[in-house]
Amino acid sequence: MFDISPTEWTAIQLSLRVATVATLVATPLGIGVAWLLARRDFWGKPVVDALIHLPLVLPPVVTGYLLLLTFGRRGLIGTWLADHLGIVFAFRWTGAALACGIMSFPLLVRPIRLSIEAVDRRLEQAAGTLGAAPWRVFLTITLPLALPGVLAGMVLGFAKAIGEFGATITFVSNIPGETQTISSAIYSLIQTPDGDTAALRLVVVSIVIAMSSMIASEWFARRALRRLHGN
Amino acid sequence: MLRVDVSKQLGEFSLQVTFASEGPITGLFGASGAGKTSLINMIAGLLRPDRGAIAIDTETLDDTAARVHVPAYRRRIGYVFQDARLFPHLDVRANLDYGRRMNRLADDAAQRVRVTDLLDIGSLLNRRPGQLSGGERQRVALGRALLAQPRLLLLDEPLGSLDEERKVEILPYLVRLRDEAGVPMVYVSHDAGEMRQLATSIVMLKRGRVTAFGGTEVLPAVASY
């Protein structure tokens, strides 16, 4: 039962790589967006807010198809990126990372935004009177104090990215070794005769990954809290 | 020389204040709701006046007619808040060093020792704000503001959140600060007793207007109101 085959290993490794890259690229972006939503009022803010949350409420297949239309080989942005920067998303693992990043973005942003909103603005003011320019206030006060939320957002985003299925399979298909993640591998296996045991193995692997990321996030959050309360 | 001539509307409340004063300690005296905190927030640059000007010596910090507003972080005005506002994620040492780092000042060990000695906080350096008593927190906040080398120090009821015993503990430090630190201060309080002990000139505020200006003799006879 626990004899994991090379194809399954490939899918596991690919899932981890896709989710890690998606989370690492999305995090700085997510912190920026969360800060804007938490601390700035600007024209069109409700639209930006809705747009970010859209992947959460749209059918994933719609998001995947929209990605195909924009970032696909003949898509507007896809063509430009391929011609000018040599970056191709369509049917590549990078495309899976893009789909996962977009699908997990709302889950990543939300805890970060909440924790930035919870940072006492009076501390930011105090930092200003001590000579800190706004961007240094952000780096030395706001961000460190919001760190538990950033970590929580990263873990949630990572977990969502690992489990993403609909948008990914629509955008980059289900190519073993390139775009076949754990989810799409399980999907293929349960449609294959005698695939049940292999599917179950991958199910166990997903549970292990999900559990360990939850435990890790809890551990980080506790550490960060201890740091903040100064004990 | 601090020159203030500002007006500001805050909801129903209107603040219209004009005064000029020279250190060591200018006392801003008045009951709560007189506009003391709004006024020093304007001096600090945390609040913009609707109309008017604020200047220290020859440098204009605010001048609405000339559209000048120097942001708080470029004013070099220290601020000790009633609630200390120490950074909870930094230990006392890092809190004290914060202003020096942000202003890119050279490390001055002699100055650091002088300030920590003056305030008796040398033994607290490795602690976190969460492990300090109210009085200790306020002394660290004073040290933090001083070590940023401000040209003016604003103190907003720094004893306001402390009980009588702690007030008695901190007052001598403020007197020492006045006599030894060489930084002009604006001291906000509604306690006439504190004012008598500390201030060298008094600006009396009532409902957003200056009602008296002069030496400590303008203070009411009763201890506080």
**Contact criterion met (CB < 8 Å) for A131 and B73:** yes
pLDDT at A17: 95
Which amino acid is located at A52 in the chain?
I
CATH, residue A168: 1.10.3720.10
Q: How many domains does chain A have?
A: 1
Q: What is the mean pLDDT of residues A26-43?
A: 94
Interatomic CA distance for residues A165 and A49, integer angstroms? 24
pLDDT in tens, A95-111: 999 999 999 999 999 99
List of chain B residues whose C-beta atoms are within 8 Å of the C-beta of residue A140: 98, 102
pTM as predicted: 0.87
Residue A184: inside a domain, yes or no?
A: yes
pLDDT at A161: 92
Give B87-113 as a DSSP string: -TTS-HHHHHHHHHHHTTPPP-HHHHH
* Low-confidence stretches of chain B (pLDDT beneath 70): 222-225
pLDDT at B60: 94
**Contact criterion met (CB < 8 Å) for B103 and A131:** yes
List of chain A residues whose C-beta atoms are within 8 Å of the C-beta of residue B102: 127, 130-133, 136, 140
**Chains A & B: contacts with CB separation below 8 Å:** 79
Q: Which of A225, A23, A179 is nearest to A108 (CA)?
A: A23
Residue A21: inside a domain, yes or no?
A: yes
Q: What is the mean pLDDT of residues A130-150?
A: 94
Give me the domain span that covers residue A26.
Answer: 6-229
Note whether B70 and B126 are within 8 A (CB): no
Q: Does A146 touch chain B (CB under 8 A)?
A: no
List of chain B residues whose C-beta atoms are within 8 Å of the C-beta of residue A150: none
Proportion of chain B above pLDDT 90, given as a percent: 64
pLDDT at A228: 66
pLDDT at A227: 66
List of chain B residues whose C-beta atoms are within 8 Å of the C-beta of residue A231: 128, 130-131
Note whether A105 and A30 are within 8 A (CB): yes
pLDDT at B222: 60
- Mutation pick from A121, A130, A138 vs chain B, by most beta carbons of B within 10 Å, is A130
Interatomic CA distance for residues B75 and A214, integer angstroms? 46
pLDDT at B38: 94
Sheet holding B201-206, edge to edge: B68-69, B59-63, B51-56, B2-10, B13-21, B209-214, B201-206, B25-29, B185-189, B152-156, B77-80
Sketch the domain layout of chain B as residue ranges: 14-47+78-216
Q: What is the dihedral of CA B119, B125, B131, B137, to 10 degrees?
A: 30
Interatomic CA distance for residues B225 and B223, integer angstroms? 7
pLDDT at A58: 94
Residue A1: inside a domain, yes or no?
A: no
CATH code that applies to domain B14-47+78-216: 3.40.50.300
pLDDT at B225: 45
ipTM of the complex: 0.91
pLDDT at A93: 93
pLDDT in tens, B41-63: 999 999 999 999 999 999 999 99
pLDDT in tens, A174-228: 998 899 999 999 999 999 998 899 999 999 999 998 888 888 878 877 877 776 6
Which amino acid is located at B156 in the chain?
D
- Tokens 């889950």: give the residue: A107
